[in-house]
Each structure stands twice: as structure tokens, then as C-alpha cells.
Structure 1
Amino acid sequence: MTPTTLPAAPRNGMRVLDLCSGAGGAGMGYFLAGFDVVGVDIRPQPNYPFTFHQGDAIEYVREHGADFDLIHASWPCQHHTALTKGTNKGREYPDLIPAGRAAMLATGRPCVLENVQGAPIRRDLTLCGEMFGLRVIRHRYFEIHGFPTLQMPHLPHRGRVAGCRHGKWYEGHYFAVYGDGGGKGTVAQWQTAMGMHWTDVRKEIAEAIPPAYTRHIGEQFTAHTAASVPSPEGVS
């Protein structure tokens, strides 16, 4: 998907900075909520569907963050994942959350930090794919500064995640959108499960969050901003 083939979405006149953007899972959600999106990532992201800058996210937010209405960051999470503490134990990964949070807060702009379960961020909001009717579970925590958000009910999961476990195949309502083995599903199934049809690269889909998550957050921010604007004198 290119900027000329983005889905139709109403615009709200605001800009969001999408740090550690990856291929744009978070960015797409904000776009669908009405924002103009600018992404930053240390790695090239040829499938990112919005304006993109390759570079250090902490340096970029320090220099340009105050120019945006909202800042979102998905700081690298490998340091905190269950795999790092289990299968990949012993490998070293950077923890950019403390420095990244400090740089974001220094801008004075409302901001959102997203990360995996186990990451040292506040759990102001917890989202799950089932809340949005997706066929992926993907629990994520969100630390939110500067505006309130609505915590959706955490619905019961509908059965298993499809795939192989200890040599046995299990049918399931959800797909495991990560890794390569265990009958994880086709690329098309991953795209549909996540709501990410602009890239067909497994790694990009696996590292993203569903756009539905940030669409929800972006709509909450827009509603809060609209409610905070004083009415013209004499108008109630």
C-alpha cells in the first residue's frame, strides 16, 4: 500500500509522531482515527505507508517532538519479552524505555508508550485483539500521558491459538503471529488477523500491533481534545 492508496478516513487536523514505527501498525491506526502520521525508525521501512524518517527515535523526538499534537512510541521490547527470559536467555537487548520516556515527556506533548506484558511501563490501558474482533490475541500495555482513555472490557478468549504444540496440531480461533514454525498460518491469514494488508512481509507483521489498538486511542484523544476546547462566547 502506498500513500495514494490509503483507505478513506476523516481528517482531524492533528499530527502524530510514530516513534520506532516498524512497518506502520500503530501509524495506520492513528491515520484511521484522523491523524496525519510521521514515522521514525532506526531501520529502513520501505513498506511504511506514511511520511518516514530513518534515524534515531530519541534524537528525533528531542528535536521535533514539540511540533506534534501527539507522540506515540513502541520502544524495542525484546529486553522484556518472555522469549528473552526463556528461549533467548543470555542474549543482550537494549532497554530504551527509560531514556525514550524522558525524551517524550520533555516535549510537553501528550504521549503514548506501548509495550509487551512484563515491560516496565504503567498499565493505563491494556488491549487485546478479542476486544476488536480480531483473530489474534496480542495483549499490549499502554502508558498514557496527557489525556484519559477508555478501558474496554477484556472479553474471554474464544478457544485456542492454532498451531503445533509438542508435535500435535491444534485447531484454534486465533493465529500466532510470530516466528516461523508450528503451523503459524499463511501470510494472508496473518494480514487479516492483524488488519495489516499493506505489507506481506512476515517479520513486519509479527513485530507490529494491530491498527485497531491505536485507532481506539487516537479516537479517545480526539474526543478529549474536542471536549477541552472552550465554546465560543455565548454558545453553550
Structure 2
Amino acid sequence: MTRPRVLDLFCCAGGAAMGYWRAGFDVVGVDITSRPRYPFRFVLADALDAMREMCQEFHLVHASPPCQAHTALTKGTNRGRTYVDLIPQMRELCEWYGVDWVIENVPGAGIRKDLTLCGEMFGLGVIRHRHFETGWLGVPPPEQPKHIKHRGPVRGWRHGVYRDGPYIAAYGKGGGKGNVREMQTAMDITWTDVHDELTEAIPPAYTEYIARQFISTGRWGATATPNAQDRLAALSRPSLDLAS
């Protein structure tokens, strides 16, 4: 049976990748920094160069360009360092090569908000809103889940006031923010214990949801076999030996 393949650009430790894999995709990750804990095939390279050389071998391209140009914590600069916005280049390359794509980033980034996901939609211990632009050529974007009301605040100190709540802050250190073990549990990411990788990751549940939508409604789902739902069930949740 043919399995869909996703090229995971700016892959970091593989939060997005694991969601695609759980939905039945074969995954190849690319990052300019070595990621020894990445649980799938990994290519050390510039993401845009890899996109030009490899993208047409895949059914889908997922890109999570660095968010520092947009996040409220840096707003494009940090102690004199300027961060480049790679989203426009990423989109242009996807359009040029005619590949289906998903671009993910933080609120405030310059992407279409085709889909907005939150940890509470999946019963997670983080809120972590993320926007997704989906370029599924010729088909509708994935269905937007209903945004469920948050059960309470994020735990930690803000403006001199400590609040306890059901969610942890999966960024930074101190001030009541989540530690490594708490972030692993809250986001369902167990294969890395590197603090910086966890703070940059998105929960696999997000991309598992997107991947299942792509399999059933995207171009791959529409053309690979007549019955996308049967195929989805057959590909669901393969086993993974993370020690191998």
C-alpha cells in the first residue's frame, strides 16, 4: 500500500513530524541544526535549499519557519539580533513547484489563518495557539474544529500575580513555567528532553489532525484509491521503535 510522504522543513525535534507519522505518513525532516533526537529520517541542510532539491518527491510539504520575527517575546529583534521572516519565500517555493503545503506559525505571523488549533481541542496541558496555512491545490482547507472554552488560566506569575491553572507555560524558565517533564507530558512529546526543543515544538496532535484531513480530503486522498476512509484506517497508528 502506498503511504503518503511529508517533507518536514525547519523540523526541530519532530513535534509536527510525529503527528504526521501517527496518521500514516512516511516522514523526512530537514533542519540547519543537528537534531539527534529527531525520531525519523533526518537531513542536515538549509530548509529552502532542501525544498528546491527534494520537494517533488513528496505528497505534502510541512514548514515551521522560525517564529522569532513574529512572536511577542522577540518581535523580530532580540538584543540587537534581527530575525528574518522566511514565510514569504517558503510560500513562493511551494507555489512555484506546485506542491501541497502546510505552513505553521505563531499568532501574528504573516500567514493565512486557514486553521487555528489549540491544546484544549485535544485535551492537552498547554494552550499553545498556532495558525496553519494550507495550500492544498484545488481542494478546500481542513475543517476548523470548534474552539473549546479554556478550563482556566495558564499557571505562573504575570504582572506580579501568581495564578494556578490546568495549563503550563511551555516557554522560558522560572516564574511557575513548566519544567522539562511537565512540558513532555503536557504536549505528548517524550522522545526529547532538551528544554529549547520542547519550547519550540508543537504538539503532535495538531498535525495528526491535519494529516488525517489531508488523507481523506486532500489531493492524495482524492486520487490514491477510491476509498480514502478505508485507507485512513489501514494506515492509522503504525508502531514505532524509538530506540532504533
**Superposition TM-score, scaled by structure 1 size:** 0.88
Matched, 1:37 2:30: no
The count of corresponding residues between Structure 1 and Structure 2 is 222
Q: Structure 1: where are the runs of 5+ without partners?
A: 1-10
1:101 Cα shift?
Answer: 1.3
Tell me how large the CA RMSD over aligned residues is. Answer: 2.0
Say which of 30, 47, 51 aligns to 1:61.
Answer: 51
* Aligned partner of residue 120 in structure 1, secondary structure: coil
Matched, 1:181 2:174: yes
User: Do the aligned residues in 2 keep the contact of 1:12 with 1:35 (CA within 8 Å)?
Assistant: no
Say which of 10, 35, 57 aligns to 1:20.
Answer: 10
Q: Give the corresponding residue for 2:236.
A: none
Matched, 1:169 2:159: no
Q: In terms of mean alpha carbon deviation, does 160-169 or 33-42 score higher?
A: 160-169
What is the CA–CA distance in structure 2 between the aligned matches of 1:101 and 1:63, rounded to whole Å?
16
1:83 Cα shift?
Answer: 1.4
What is the CA–CA distance in structure 2 between the aligned matches of 1:29 and 1:90, rounded to whole Å?
35
**Superposition TM-score, scaled by structure 2 size:** 0.86
Say which of 150, 153, 156 aligns to 2:143.
Answer: 150
* Aligned partner of residue 85 in structure 2, secondary structure: coil
Cα distance change of structure 1 residues 159 and 231 upon mapping to structure 2, 3 Å threshold: closer
User: Do the aligned residues in 2 keep the contact of 1:163 with 1:184 (CA within 8 Å)?
Assistant: yes
Q: Structure 2: where are the runs of 5+ without partners?
A: 228-244
Amino acid corresponding to residue 41 of structure 1 in structure 2: D
1:50 Cα shift?
Answer: 0.3
Amino acid corresponding to residue 44 of structure 1 in structure 2: S
Amino acid corresponding to residue 19 of structure 2 in structure 1: G
Amino acid corresponding to residue 155 of structure 2 in structure 1: A
Amino acid corresponding to residue 158 of structure 1 in structure 2: R
1:90 Cα shift?
Answer: 5.3
What is the CA–CA distance in structure 2 between the aligned matches of 1:27 and 1:139, rounded to whole Å?
18
What is the CA–CA distance in structure 2 between the aligned matches of 1:56 and 1:183, rounded to whole Å?
36
Could you give the per-residue CA deviations for residues 84-112 of structure 1, whole angstroms, max 9, x where no partner exists? 23994754111111111111222211100
Matched, 1:205 2:198: yes
Say which of 87, 92, 106 aligns to 1:102.
Answer: 92
What is the CA–CA distance in structure 1 between the aligned matches of 2:54 and 2:87, rounded to whole Å?
19
User: Do the aligned residues in 2 keep the contact of 1:81 with 1:116 (CA within 8 Å)?
Assistant: yes
